[in-house]
Amino acid sequence: MRNVQSVLATGLALYLAMPAGLPGANHREAPITALDHKADITDVYAFVSYSGDQAAGTQPSKVTFILCVDPLLEPGNGPHYFPFDSNILYEIKIDNNHDAQEDIVFQFQFETEQRLPGIWQSYAGIGEGARAPANSPAPVQPGTLIVPPRITSFQSPGLGTRQAYRVGILKSGVVTPMTNPDGSPFYAVPANVGPRTMDYPALYKAGTYKLPNGVSVFAGTVDDAFWIDLGATFDTANFRTLGSGVPAVLTDEEDRATRNFASDSVSGFAVNAIAIEVPIEMLTSTGRREAASVPAATIGMWGATSRPRVTVRVSPDPLISDGAVRQVQRMGNPLVNELLIGTGSKDRFSMDQPKNDSQFAPFLLDPAIARVINALTGGVVAIPPAPRTDLLPLVTYAAPIAAPGTPAGPVADLLRLNTGVPATPLAQASRLGLIGGDPAGFPNGRRLYDDVTDIALRVVVGGVLVPGFNRFPNNRLGDGVNVDDTGYKSEFPYLGDCPSGRDRRHLDPGEPGGGPVQ
Amino acid sequence: MLLLSLMGVPVTGAQPASQSRARDDHEARKTAVRALLEQARYQEALMEAVALNKAMPDELDTYAMLSQAYIQLGEMEQAERALQWMLDLRPDSPVSLLAAAEYRFAVGEYTGAIDFYNEAYRRTARQNLKRRGEILMRAVKAYRAAGKPEAAQSCLREAARLKSGEEGK
């Protein structure tokens, strides 16, 4: 292994060159990411791009991928908010020949510029700017600009911390950079500090880049698109008791509703997101758009964050990082590492490659969460016997996502998407995706509005794909949180605006909109 | 084995047969592997360590056991793979760094071993005089093998100083 033999040794030689006695410095689903928030992937999404007025049956032309990192960002948490980590390589990986190995990789790396080193916060602005009044003490002359104008663009002087990023496509070992036609940088949209300081929507719009090759890119701090009763879920599945009187079981009315009956723990929080929209021709192994019935139409994707293996920190010098990277985390399907993988294996899962996931098959094919809920409900929620081969479509290329004849490939946690399935018009889409009769929803890819918590509860715990198990209460399992608190846009990058740091609101249990405490 | 002792893994003598029956007890199984390593029963130790690693792949101790067994069996590529996982999982851990040092020493890369010993030393709490002293003693061996007797002597003096501090506690 190259790193044990050379790279690390080189790095350590750097350490050893230092004078002795200098101090050596250095959503949270795995121990390693609980300690490394910036590299923590919260969610990945992949879906056929759509528009707000999408007609049924519109042939797919592009796919949108979204990688969210750095969980539960409190929008008011200044003064420096949430820049991307310039020391992390963010990647969206695509397998297009069904071997669970990357064939195409979209890479993102950030650079940070401090433009207001003399003031105490990263962003400052108001209207046309604030000037020193007539009684301004010397040496500041009256009329001197004290506070810069409201931030409305990436050139605004009040944008103290400005992040640019590079995008590359790695294919066949060659990285091809993507750039704006005029060579100008891509800028990341900052957190929405508040209405006085910045025009966040203007920055969001300016930070959405459409390139001549049909690719669009976006990076920035946005509303956390996920929703879940996080507190109840991880209080040993202590879900709220709603209309049915049985915890985690919804009534038909609650199931149909497009509102929430329990607290969305993620409400009012932000997340850092990277999005890229790509023509399908750039993704498939054939270089063509393929019909859903063709095996080549189905791709697999996952997101990954990596850090350099060697980082040297010597106060007061800037840190030095170089050489090969080590993966910190990866994610394909939602909730796999959170709810399925055992704690003693989570870091290895995070850092290993999907093609090696057969080592985790026992977790995937006999999920502990199913047995826990079976036990907690005293058997009211009956579960199918192991091995749970009904879950194979989540971890192999299989129907109903992939076309007949598609090689299953190894067991691997990839988010699989049949790029030939048209996007469902928003008015007809189901939050329950495939099990809700919506062929363009999770687990055929994942859209922002797919309720993966309820889907996972029904599929993984309730076993509704197993004959005889698609019945009450298994097919009404849910946490009572059906929709995101903010809502999404109907065009790329689809993500909702970051809540205002000044005015954000978290909906807690027991308060209006937060559902019951019990 | 000394390596495991250095890593803070208690090593006991040969285990009674009753312990091997405690298959559901992870710690007992680890103890059994340590005993097998101590008895130079490397193939058996390897098989057990592989099973332990499969059961809890986030645990550093089992990678150390794996690497030690592999080294003794001459399967250096496998040893290296286990060590790389340790370093990737916990790059700052003295356990990982010590295991890497032992590997480098075993393959005759003494300068690299010294690098890792030094780093493990730096990453071990200053209050842990005993452990720091033990690491220095290992480093002494590596310095000598690397043809650096003065550095070895200096290391030895520091180890003695730490030992006297430990005894004065």
B73 CB burial (10 A radius; 0-12, 13-18, 19+): middle
Question: Are the C-beta atoms of A425 and A378 separated by less than 8 Å?
Answer: no
The ipTM of this complex is: 0.73
Q: Is B81 on the interface with A (CB under 8 A)?
A: yes
In the block, which residue shows the tokens 């497009």? A258
Percent of chain A whose pLDDT exceeds 90:
82
pLDDT at res. A3: 43
Phi first, then psi: what are they for A237, rounded to 5°?
Answer: 55, 45
Distance of CA A396 to the CA centre of its chain: 22
Closest partner residue to A9 among B54, B92, B115, by Cβ? B115
Of the residues B122, B154, B161, the best mutation for testing chain A's interface (the one with the most A CB atoms within 10 Å of its CB) is B122
DSSP state of A191: P
Residues 253-292 of A with CB under 8 A from B: none
CA distances from A333 to A234, A444, A476 (A): 19, 10, 21
Q: Is A325 on the interface with B (CB under 8 A)?
A: no
A437 CB burial (10 A radius; 0-12, 13-18, 19+): exposed
Residues 46-65 of B with CB under 8 A from A: 54-59
Question: Are the C-beta atoms of A496 and A486 separated by less than 8 Å?
Answer: yes
Q: How far apart are CA A314 and CA A320, in angstroms?
A: 9
Q: Please give the residue of chain A at the shortest CA–CA distance from B84.
A: A4
Q: Report pLDDT digits (tens) over A366-384.
A: 999 999 999 999 999 999 9
More confident residue, A394 or B17: A394
Q: Please give the residue of chain B at the shortest CA–CA distance from A308.
A: B88
pLDDT at B134 over 80: yes
Mean per-residue pLDDT, A238-264 = 93
Mean predicted lDDT score pLDDT of chain A: 90
Q: Is A32 on the interface with B (CB under 8 A)?
A: yes
Of the residues B58, B81, B118, the best mutation for testing chain A's interface (the one with the most A CB atoms within 10 Å of its CB) is B58
Question: Are the C-beta atoms of A450 and A444 separated by less than 8 Å?
Answer: no
| Across A111-125, A317-331, A497-511, B82-96, least confident range | A317-331
Tokens representing residue A179 in the block: 């750039």
Mean per-residue pLDDT, A334-354 = 91
* Sign of the C-alpha dihedral computed for residues A118, A124, A126 and A127 taken in this order: positive
Closest partner residue to A3 among B55, B84, B89, by Cβ? B84
In the block, which residue shows the tokens 């033999």? A5
pLDDT at A13 over 90: no
Q: How far apart are CA B39 and CA B36, in angstroms?
A: 5
* Confidence category of residue B37, pLDDT binned at 50, 70, 90: very high
Question: Are the C-beta atoms of A31 and A347 separated by less than 8 Å?
Answer: yes
State which H helix or E strand residue A433 sits in. none
Chains A, B: CB contacts within 8 A come to 69
Q: Please give the residue of chain A at the shortest CA–CA distance from B113.
A: A9
pLDDT at B118 over 80: yes
Percent of chain A whose pLDDT exceeds 70:
91
Using a CB-CB cut-off of 8 Å, the residues of chain B touching A31 are 58
Q: How far apart are CA A274 and CA A267, in angstroms?
A: 20
pLDDT at res. A487: 87
Q: Report pLDDT digits (tens) over A242-252.
A: 999 999 999 99
Q: Report pLDDT digits (tens) over A395-424.
A: 999 999 999 999 999 999 999 999 999 999
pLDDT at res. A512: 84
3-state secondary structure of A416: strand
pLDDT at res. A311: 62
Mean per-residue pLDDT, A31-57 = 88
| Across A2-6, A10-14, A47-51, A504-508, least confident range | A10-14
Cβ–Cβ below 8 Å for A359 and B54 = yes
| Across A214-218, A314-318, A449-453, least confident range | A314-318
Q: Report pLDDT digits (tens) over A118-177.
A: 888 999 999 999 999 999 999 999 999 999 999 999 999 999 999 999 999 999 999 999
Q: Please give the residue of chain B at the shortest CA–CA distance from A360.
A: B54
Using a CB-CB cut-off of 8 Å, the residues of chain A touching B121 are none
pLDDT at res. B164: 85
Using a CB-CB cut-off of 8 Å, the residues of chain B touching A309 are 87-88, 91
CA distances from B80 to A69, B67, B84 (A): 32, 7, 6
pLDDT at A228 over 90: yes
Q: Which amino acid is at A259?
A: R
pLDDT at B2 over 50: no
Cβ–Cβ below 8 Å for A359 and B85 = no
Nearest alpha-carbon partner for A279 in A211, A208, A219, A187: A211
pLDDT at res. A515: 86
pLDDT at A22 over 50: no
pLDDT at res. A518: 78
pLDDT at res. A1: 32
Question: Are the C-beta atoms of A240 and A232 separated by less than 8 Å?
Answer: yes
Closest partner residue to A347 among B58, B92, B111, by Cβ? B58
pLDDT at res. A312: 62
CA distances from A511 to A226, A244, B146 (A): 20, 21, 69
3-state secondary structure of A365: helix
Q: Report pLDDT digits (tens) over A92-101.
A: 999 999 999 9
Q: How far apart are CA A203 and CA A205, in angstroms?
A: 5
The residues, any chain, with a CB within 8 Å of residue A317's CB and separated by 6 or more, are none
Kindly report the number of other CB atoms within 10 A of residue A120's CB atom: 10
Q: Is A17 on the interface with B (CB under 8 A)?
A: no
* Confidence category of residue A513, pLDDT binned at 50, 70, 90: confident
Using a CB-CB cut-off of 8 Å, the residues of chain B touching A87 are none
pLDDT at B6 over 80: no
Strand partners, A218: A275
Q: Please give the residue of chain A at the shortest CA–CA distance from B96.
A: A4
Q: How far apart are CA A44 and CA A495, in angstroms?
A: 12
Cβ–Cβ below 8 Å for B57 and A344 = yes
Mean per-residue pLDDT, A351-369 = 93
Kindly report the number of other CB atoms within 10 A of residue A13's CB atom: 15
* Confidence category of residue B24, pLDDT binned at 50, 70, 90: low
**3-state secondary structure labels for all residues of A3-70:** HHHHHHHHHHHHHHCCCCCCCCCCCCCCHHHHCCHHHCEEEEEEEECCCCCCCCCCCCCEEEEEEEEE
Alpha helices in chain B (DSSP H): 2-6, 17-20, 26-38, 42-55, 60-73, 76-89, 94-106, 110-123, 129-145, 149-167
Nearest alpha-carbon partner for A284 in A66, A104, A49: A104
Mean per-residue pLDDT, A215-233 = 96
Domains by residue range for chain B, with CATH? 2-107 (1.25.40.10)
Cβ–Cβ below 8 Å for B85 and A16 = no
Question: Are the C-beta atoms of A445 and A297 separated by less than 8 Å?
Answer: no
Using a CB-CB cut-off of 8 Å, the residues of chain B touching A13 are 115
* Farthest-apart Cα atoms in chain A, separation: 82
pLDDT at res. B25: 84
Nearest alpha-carbon partner for B46 in B25, B26, B65, B27: B65
Q: Is A1 on the interface with B (CB under 8 A)?
A: yes
Q: How far apart are CA B77 and CA B82, in angstroms?
A: 9
Nearest alpha-carbon partner for A448 in A278, A222, A165: A222
Alpha helices in A48-177 (DSSP H): none
Using a CB-CB cut-off of 8 Å, the residues of chain B touching A36 are none
User: What's the pTM value of the predicted model, to 2 decimals?
Assistant: 0.87
pLDDT at res. B22: 42
Cβ–Cβ below 8 Å for B119 and A12 = yes
More confident residue, A338 or A40: A40
A396 CB burial (10 A radius; 0-12, 13-18, 19+): buried
In the block, which residue shows the tokens 């005015």? A503
* Confidence category of residue A393, pLDDT binned at 50, 70, 90: confident
A451 CB burial (10 A radius; 0-12, 13-18, 19+): buried
In the block, which residue shows the tokens 């080590």? A326
